[in-house]
Amino acid sequence: MLTILNLFFMKKTTYLFAIFIAFYSFSFAQCPGTPEPGYTCIPDAAFEQALINFGYDSEGVLDGRILTADAEAANGTLGLANQGLTDLTGLEAFINLDGVDFSYNTALAALDVTANVNLIDVNLEGCASLSSLNVSGLTALENINVYGSVLTTVDLLTNTSLLVFNARFAALQTMDFSANASILDVNLRNNTLTFVDMRNGNNALTVLRADNNNGPGCILVNDETETNLVNWNPGGLSIYETEGECPTLSVEKENSTVFSIYPNPAKGYVNVSSNLEATTNLGVYDITGKLVLTNTISFGNNKLNIASLSSGIYLMRVSTSTKTITKKLIIK
């Protein structure tokens, strides 16, 4: 009799346990993928555990997801430094943050914060594997710190409020600050720079440090006679007003031979000249980073109709299998 009862209870326990596992697996299976309504997927267990530890995940269960309402309720700075983060998928739901601090997450390789439109501060100091950062469309962004990363460049053409950029001990090769008319402090020390465009009209107020870039290379400015330039430390880079004066073949010059647009400013249509043999994807983005026009271009001259676009500043981006080239387009 005891054997039969024991067997009965063992089967019942096993059955209930199986139901629990199936339910848990089903819940977890919603992420990654399409989460249940009201939830946002957090596939990186280290990211979710940090959210639990710091009180951002009210459910407190490591299940690959977070209540979207919890993410949207977060404001101020999300400070998750040195938490072993590798994947920040789910960060896009934290739409009310004005700062993120993911410093010293040394395995973090890429970060896209384009959905976090209210960001003012981005701190990625010590993220030694960081090779990709997308801050397009963040017009309120004032401070970026990528000290110690392996970024080779950062697209800042839409970050019109940027004040401070710190990329000391990174791997920068080129930087374009021509759209950052408010920038005051640029730290580019200890990189491998060959080209920096500082033609933003604010050279008189900007502090720039680029020592320990051995060159050769160039920094382009609005006016070589600007008195504040004597306070800059260009390292091994030479200061010029125009690209034609730069004796080295910068990446910017190389890109201009691959992809050029004219007239610029333009109205109604624009010519796009390409040296790429294959058909190439082309996108036009507004100042917020929104894709407003797509097309393809082929080798030689291409005529693009832009009559549907309003007057303003846009970014035209050509993507190949090996590189992405972005140029500023002004529509009258």
What is residue 28's predicted lDDT score, i.e. its pLDDT?
Answer: 44
Q: What is the CA radius of gyration of the chain?
A: 25
Distance CA 136, CA 330 (A): 17
Distance CA 78, CA 237 (A): 37
Residues 189 and 272 in one domain: no
Q: Structure tokens of 246? A: 């730069």
CATH number, position 274: 2.60.40.3080
Distance CA 325, CA 274 (A): 11
Residues 323 and 280 in one domain: yes
Position 312 in a domain: yes
Q: Which of 77, 76, 71 is nearest to 90 (CA)?
A: 71
Position 37 in a domain: no
Residues 112 and 162 in one domain: yes
Residues 139 and 287 in one domain: no
Read off the pLDDT of residues 227-245 as tens digits, 9 standing for 90 and up: 999 999 999 999 998 877 8
Residues 127 and 164 in one domain: yes
Q: At 172, which amino acid appears?
A: L
Distance CA 127, CA 64 (A): 23
Q: For residue 165, give the 3-state DSSP assignment.
A: strand
Residue ending a domain, among 185, 211, 241, is 241
Q: Count how many domains the chain has.
A: 2
Query: Could you check whether the bond before residue 234 is cis, i.e. omega within 30 degrees of 0?
Result: no
Using CA atoms of 327, 328, 331, 332 in order, give the dihedral in degrees to the nearest 10: -130
| Beta-ladder partners of 297 | 280
Position 1 in a domain: no
Residue ending a domain, among 208, 241, 274, is 241
Residue ending a domain, among 192, 208, 241, is 241
Residues 210 and 316 in one domain: no
> Is the model's pLDDT at 330 over the cut of 90?
no
Read off the pLDDT of residues 239-284 as tens digits, 9 standing for 90 and up: 998 877 887 644 545 555 567 788 878 889 998 888 776 778 888 8
Q: For residue 46, give the 3-state DSSP assignment.
A: helix
Residues 234 and 96 in one domain: yes
14 pLDDT band, cuts 50/70/90, is very low
32 pLDDT band, cuts 50/70/90, is low
Residues 208 and 267 in one domain: no
Residues 101 and 210 in one domain: yes
Q: Running DSSP on this structure, what letter comes out for residue 45?
A: H
Position 27 in a domain: no
CATH number, position 137: 3.80.10.10
Position 201 in a domain: yes
> Is the model's pLDDT at 219 over the cut of 80?
yes
Q: Structure tokens of 24? A: 């848990």
| Beta-ladder partners of 39 | 67
What is residue 250's predicted lDDT score, i.e. its pLDDT?
Answer: 45
Name the residue range of residue 297's domain.
259-331
Residues 157 and 286 in one domain: no
Residues 226 and 274 in one domain: no
Residues 87 and 226 in one domain: yes
Position 246 in a domain: no
CB 170 within 8 Å of CB 150: yes
Numbers of helices and strands, H then E, in the chain: 4, 22
> Is the model's pLDDT at 25 over the cut of 80?
no
Q: Is the pTM of this model over 0.85?
A: no
